[in-house]
Chain A
Amino acid sequence: MSNISNTHERAGGNLTAQALREGFFAGLVSLGLFVLFVGLETTQNIRNELVLNQRWGLLAIFVIVAAVGRFLSVAYLRPWLAARKAAAAAKPAEGEESFFKRNFSKIAIVALIFYPPIMVMLFGVQGSLKWVDNFGIQILIYVMLAWGLNIVVGLAGLLDLGYVAFYAVGAYSYALLSQQFGFSFWILLPLAGILAAFWGMILGFPVLRLKGDYLAIVTLAFGEIIRLVLINWTEVTRGTFGVSGIPKASVFGIWSFDVSAPNNFAKAFDLPMSSAYYKIFLFYLILALALLTAYVTIRLRRMPIGRAWEALREDEIACRSLGINTVTTKLTAFSIGAMFGGFAGSFFAVRQGFVSPESFVFLESAIILAIVVLGGMGSLVGIAVAAAVMVGGTELLREMTFLKQIFGPDFTPELYRMLIFGLAMVTVMVWKPRGFVGSREPTAFLRERKAVSGNFTKEGHG
């Protein structure tokens, strides 16, 4: 041990010298690279003449960033990472996780339950609106969608690129049925789920024989078909205009959130009129729906059907050799996943009060799938964290007004949303190829519950 520390000290001087050298070369390389690209700029002046602008200051910034970055990386970052790795290797038997880590999901649920009152206390009734609606509800919708898709992709291993179709079916079921027949939210919520599940089966039948890439392409097409039907079937869906004036949900019919209604929530409790109460109610509603999704998923995983899904992901032929009907197993995965998409869709309609096909583009499917993959396929906690990071993070960009002071008043951070989303995805995938939670929790055990490393689980191929 003393030997090692000695070499470390001796290496200290060398390291700084090496870092200086590497920093210098990095600066030199970037100077060579950028001198023409950044240092000189050609623009047209008003007489259509080409003028050469010199931007030596900007070039200097580029070179300094490269040189200093290289120096810091070699001198400090790398030794620190190596030391951390060595420290982690030195004490691998540290089985006891911290209290926070062990009870993460419970703490998170409690924190979510107290989230709206805390926001109201911090920012006032009107001020909390943004935090409850833009952040809380928005993230929870994606958490629920990702948990629903997780059943299809994470557990059963069926790559579904058209999940947003079920979200659309749920949203339009609520929007159209509530307007046509005047049914309340609490009747239409299960109905939207059932209709979405039915469409899940309709998608399931033709793709039963497909695997991998072929399955992905057909599900993608299915998602587009639903969207195009919504656009073009104008007599029913009103096409691109969308359906507006969708009635609000009520607290089980006891209190309404319509301003004119006699049993208005704010009136009943003698509170000042505000739309924040409705948003807080919606927050708890989507929280309950998301938790229902998680509960059902956890229960199903311990049931034969859930185990059959995971077995299907691991090896379909072996499943058949064990007497498992893979047709019904796949169809149940599709339909139960779709059902939760339908629930989320009807919630979406009730929250927006307006649905149009624009909300159900392929990008939505891609984001939901990205959340599932980033979170770690099959892991509920990982997916929730991924949804919070991806959706909350991009939402947070709107709040970064201070960036305008740096980059000038024309800078709108929201426009960089997808760029940062993509960068974050690449970073996470390099750093954790199996997502935030790569290991799998076994559903049954004899002596101790040991997490199954991601090296053994398969991603599914069909």
Chain B
Amino acid sequence: MALGANTVATNTMTNDPILKVEHLSMRFGGLMAINDLSFEAQRGEITALIGPNGAGKTTVFNCVTGFYKPTMGMITMRQKAGKEFLLERMADFEITRDAKVARTFQNIRLFSGLTVLENLLVAQHNMLMKASGYTILGLLGLPAYKHASAESIEIAKHWLEKAHLIERADDPAGDLPYGAQRRLEIARAMCTGPEFLCLDEPAAGLNPRESLALNELLRSIRKDSGTSILLIEHDMSVVMEISDHVVVLEYGQKISDGTPDHVKNDPKVIAAYLGVEDDEVEEVIEEIEVIAESEGTEGGSH
């Protein structure tokens, strides 16, 4: 936790946002799913997007990854090399291919009839497509494709080992247990070589042990490949444990933004989660102060 707080401090000082969301609004007919939302995700950090059900988290995700076209607003992705992409203007597959933003889905979307290895090879489609001369050279059996093909299997192997799936590499993806499918989906997203990874509820439906394995995987992704992560999560243990920065949404608006500790104690957040009337917020704040004190003493004994 202390380490996480440190990186936040240094990064906020340098202020190098990988993703900048400005005045984002999304309207479905009469429903304002997101209303003038602005936030930033720093490079090399894990940013969590939390909020009660129906707050618009997944809608933000779909806007960032191009599955929805936002009604208003600007989403800027800045790559390490300094190249900037306006995501709201790009098609969904271009966002993954060119801007290097990968995503997973709330309800797992694996290619269940393909093997685990094949799932990871499909993710390297664009790289292999170029190497095979858009199929034509590869069809003739030129060596360039063979090298690229062997390399893609190495990359797949690397991620299979990280996700602890190497034993199941030749099994159909639909045959894996739920937790393994979640890890495979993340591994598959990483095989596209992203700079920014968006995870939609990666811990949903996982048991505590699988949840722990997931935390480990996400940390190692950030540490080893330098990929920044944006995640939606309901499981607070995951959010508080691994994220460096938390953005809280309610009814499509941002109600809090900061370090996990800051957000945890934000009365607005607590009100949103516990469902308190606006005029009762004062009381809640007092309660929190009491809780914070008792937690402080507990923390000391740890």
With contacts A303-B132, A321-B92 taken as known, whether A446 is within 8 angstroms of B113 at the C-beta atoms is: no
B169's closest neighbor in chain A, by CB? A446
Contact present for B93 and A304 (CB under 8 Å): no
Q: Is B192 a contact of A323 with CB atoms below 8 Å?
A: yes
The answer to whether B172 touches A310 (Cβ under 8 A) is: no
Give chain B residues whose Cβ lies under 8 Å from the Cβ of A325: 93, 97
B-chain residues with CB within 8 Å of residue A308 when the two chains form the complex: 122, 125
Residue of B whose beta carbon sits closest to that of A306: B135
Contact B129 A456 (CB under 8 A): no
A444: Cβ under 8 A from any B Cβ: yes
Contacts A304-B128, A307-B121; A315 near B110 (Cβ below 8 A): yes
Interface size class of chain B, counting residues whose CB lies under 8 Å from the partner chain: 35 or more
Partner of A456, one of B112, B128, B138, B188: B112
A296 within 8 A of B: yes
User: How far, in whole Å, are A324 and B102 apart by their CA atoms in the complex?
Assistant: 12
Within 8 A of A (CB), among B102-160: 102-105, 109-115, 117-118, 121-126, 128-129, 132, 135, 138-139, 145, 153, 157
C-alpha gap A310/B104 in the complex (Å): 19
Q: Which residues of B contact A443 (CB under 8 A)?
A: 118, 121
Q: Nearest chain-B residue to A458 (Cβ)? A: B113
Which one of A108-116, A261-269, A447-455 contacts B? A447-455
In the complex with contacts A320-B93, A442-B115, A456-B125 CB distance below 8 A? no
Residues of A within 8 A of B121 (CB): 304, 307, 443-444
Task: Assess whether A452 is in contact with B113, with CB atoms less than 8 Å apart.
Answer: yes
What residues of A have a CB within 8 angstroms of the CB of B139 in the complex? 296, 299-300, 303
Across-interface contacts of B103 in A (CB, < 8 A): 321
B169-191 interface (Cβ within 8 A of A):
169-175, 188-189
A458 in contact with B112 given A299-B139, A320-B92, A320-B93 (CB within 8 Å): yes
Cβ 8 A contact of A322, one of B115, B170, B174, B192: B192
Contact with A along B160-171 (1 / 0, CB 8 A): 000000100111
Q: Which of A299, A305, A314, A445 has most chain B Cβ within 10 Å? A: A314
Report which of A296, A303, A445, A453 forms a contact with B117, defined as CB distance below 8 A. Answer: A445
- In the complex, what residues of A have CB within 8 A of residue B145's CB? 303
Which residues on the A side are within 8 Å of B123 (C-beta)? 322
Task: With A314-B113, A445-B117 as known contacts, state yes or no: A304 contacts B135, CB within 8 Å.
Answer: yes
Q: Which residues of B contact A299 (CB under 8 A)?
A: 139
Is chain B's binding surface mostly helix, strand, loop or mixed?
Answer: helix
Question: How far is A305 from B129 in the complex, measured between Cα atoms in Å?
Answer: 7
Q: Find B170's partner among A314, A317, A442, A458 (CB 8 Å cutoff).
A: A442
Residue among B121, B125, B173, B192 with max Cβ neighbours from chain A (10 Å): B125
- Is B96 interfacial (CB 8 A cutoff)? yes
Q: Are the C-beta atoms of B138 and A315 separated by less than 8 Å?
A: no
Q: With an 8 A cutoff between CB atoms, is A457 at the interface? A: yes
Q: Which residue of A lies closest to B66 (CB)?
A: A320
Whether, in the assembled complex, B65 has its beta carbon less than 8 Å from a beta carbon of chain A, the answer is yes
Is B172 within 8 A of A456, CB to CB? yes
Given that A305-B135, A307-B122, A310-B114 are contacting pairs, would A444 and B93 also be in contact in the complex, using a CB cutoff of 8 Å?
A: no
Q: What range describes how many residues of A lie at the interface? A: 35 or more
A322 to B174, CA, bound (A): 18
The CA-CA distance from A445 to B171 in the complex, in Å, is 9
User: For the complex, what is the distance from the CA of A456 to the CA of B102, rounded to whole Å?
Assistant: 25
Answer whether A323 and B112 are a contact pair too, CB < 8 Å, given A300-B135, A442-B118: no
In the complex, which residues of chain B have a beta carbon less than 8 angstroms from the beta carbon of A332?
Answer: 135
**CB of A318 within 8 A of chain B?**
yes
A440 contacts chain B at the CB level, 8 A cutoff: yes
User: CB of A326 within 8 A of chain B?
Assistant: yes
Q: Which residues of B contact A303 (CB under 8 A)?
A: 128, 132, 135, 138-139, 145
- Chain A residues closer than 8 Å to B96, beta-carbon distance: 320-323
Give the residues in chain A near B169, CB-CB below 8 Å.
445-447
Query: Is A321's CB under 8 angstroms from B105's CB?
Result: yes
Q: Are A326 and B118 in contact (CB under 8 A)?
A: no
* Structural contact, A452 and B92, CB atoms closer than 8 A: no
In the complex formed, the residue of B with least CB distance to A329 is B125
A311 touches B (CB below 8 Å): yes
Residues of A within 8 A of B92 (CB): 320-321
Given A307-B125, A323-B192, A315 and B109 touching (CB < 8 A)? yes
A296, chain B: closest CB distance, angstroms: 7
Central interface residue in A311, A322, A445, by most chain B CB within 10 Å: A322
Asked if A445 and B113 sit within 8 Å, CB to CB, the answer is no
CB < 8 Å neighbour of A318 from B110, B135, B175: B110
| Distance to closest chain B CB from A145 (angstroms) | 22
Q: Is the CB of A447 within 8 A of B135?
A: no
Chain A residues with CB below 8 A from B104, complex form: 321
A457 touching B171, Cβ below 8 Å: no
Flag if B170 contacts A445 (CB, 8 Å): yes
Which B residues lie within 8 Å of A319 (CB)?
93, 122
A459 to chain B, nearest CB (A): 10
Most chain A CB within a 10 A radius of its CB, from B103, B113, B128, B172: B113
CA distance A299 to B166 in the complex (A): 26
Name the interface residues of A406-462: CB closer than 8 Å to any CB of B.
440, 442-450, 452-453, 455-458
**Cα(A303)–Cα(B124), bound, Å:** 11
CB distance from B160 to the nearest CB of A (A): 8
Q: Is the CB of B125 within 8 A of A324?
A: yes
B188 proximity list for chain A (CB < 8 A): 322
A-B contact pairs, 10 of them (CB 8 A): A303-B145, A304-B129, A307-B122, A310-B118, A311-B111, A315-B110, A321-B93, A323-B97, A323-B126, A446-B157
15 new A-B pairs (CB below 8 Å) besides A304-B135, A317-B67, A325-B93? A304-B121, A307-B114, A308-B122, A310-B111, A313-B113, A314-B110, A317-B105, A320-B93, A321-B189, A322-B192, A324-B125, A325-B97, A444-B117, A446-B153, A457-B172
Residues of chain A having any CB pair with chain B under 8 Å: 296, 299-300, 303-305, 307-308, 310-311, 313-315, 317-326, 332, 440, 442-450, 452-453, 455-458
Closest 10 CB pairs of A and B: A457-B113, A323-B96, A323-B97, A314-B111, A456-B174, A304-B128, A318-B109, A456-B172, A446-B169, A311-B122
